[in-house]
Amino acid sequence: MIEARRLHILRAVADHRTVTAAAAALYLTPSAVSQQLAALEQETGHRLVERSAKGVRLTPAGEILLSHTNAVLAQLERAEAELAAYGSGEAGTVTVAAFATGIAQVVAPAVARLADTAPGIRIRVQDAEGDASLPMVLDRQVDVAVAVEYRGAPPADDPRLAHVPLYAEPFDAVVPVGHRLADTAEVPLAELAKDPWIGPYPGNPCHDVVVLACESAGFQPRLEHSSDDFRAVVALASAGAGVALVPRSALNGMDLTHVVVRPVDGVAPTRRVFAAVRRGAEGHPLIRPVLEALGRAAQQA
C-alpha cells in the first residue's frame, strides 16, 4: 500500500529538484526525505529517483508515479473539502500569500468583505512575490496564492493547481519630468532603447514583462538600477536615474511630482493576476468564500 504522505514528498522533490530544498519546503530533514523516498521505492518495487551532482531527477518509473500523484493528491483535497462541508466548515483560518500591490488591490478588500459575509473565517496574509507564492501553495505552506503569470509559471491546466483569473492591468511608462518624451500623449517603447532603465530583479514576474515588452519593440533594456519595490523604482526615476515600466495599480498613492506617467503606445505590456489553490481544494467551505471574495474585489477594483 502506497502512503499518501510519501507521494507528497515525491512531488516536492520533483518540484524542487534537490532533496535539501524539498526538505526545507516541507519542514523536514534531508535524511527524513531520503528515508521516505527509500520507503516509497520499497512500496512500489521501482527505483523512483536518480541522484547526481546537479541534484535529483525522477526515473521513468518516478514520472509515471508522479502523474498519478497529482490526481491522488487532488482527490484527497476534494475529500477534505467534502468532510469539512459535512462538518459545516464555517470557521477556521485560511492563509493567503500575495505580492504587495495584489494585497492592496484585492486581498485587503476581500478581507474586509469576509469580515461581514463570513465572520468565522480568519485570513492570514503573507507578502510574497508573484513567483514565490505558487510553490508555497504546493508545499502546503499557504492555502491560497495571488500570483502573476510569468515565463515558467505552472499553466492554467496544471494538474496540481486550480486557477481563478482575477484581473489584468497595463504597465505605464514612467519617465523623469525633463525627459524628451515627457510631453507625448503615449510613449513608444522603441524611443527608450538608448535610455538607462530601472526595473525589478530577474526572477520577478514583472521583470519578464518589461524585458519581453522591450524585446517586442526591438531592443534589450539597459537595466542599470534594480529593485523589486516600485516605490524605489519611481524614486529613482524622479531623480533622473532612468526610465521604467510600472504596473498601473502600483502607482496608486505614490509621489509622482517629479515624474511623468504615460500609457505605452500600441499594445501595452500587461500583468495578469490570478488566484491559485491546490487542485481539489477550490470547493473547500473555507477556501471557496475566500476565492469568491477575491473575485468580487477584482471586479470592483
Q: What is the pLDDT of residue 85?
A: 63
- The SS3 call for residue 33 is helix
Longest dimension (CA), the chain: 70
Both 206 and 247 in one domain: the answer is yes
In this prediction, the residues of the chain whose per-residue pLDDT falls under 70 are 85-90
**Cα angle 22-129-190, degrees, rounded to a multiple of 5:** 125
- Here the CATH number for the domain that contains residue 205 is 3.40.190.10
pTM of the full predicted structure? Answer: 0.72
Smallest CA-to-CA distance from 166 within 79, 115, 96 is with 96
**3 state DSSP class of 187:** strand
- Are 180 and 258 in a shared domain? yes
pLDDT tens profile 137-160: 999 999 999 999 887 788 888 999
Considering 19, 52, 83, which residue would you say is the last residue of a domain? 83
pLDDT digits (tens, 9 = 90+) for 50-98: 887 778 888 998 898 988 988 888 888 888 877 776 566 667 889 999 9
Question: How confident is the model at residue 203, as a pLDDT?
Answer: 83
The whole-number pLDDT of residue 111 equals 97
Amino acid 99: pLDDT:
92
Query: Does one domain contain both 113 and 99?
Result: yes
Q: Would you state the pLDDT for residue 151?
A: 77
pLDDT of residue 120: 86
Q: What is the pLDDT of residue 290?
A: 96
**Structural domain harbouring 235:** 168-270
pLDDT given at position 87: 67
Phi-psi region of 179 (alpha: psi -120 to 50; beta: other; left: phi over 0): beta
Q: Roughly what angle, to the nearest 10 degrees, separates helices 4-16 and 60-86?
A: 120
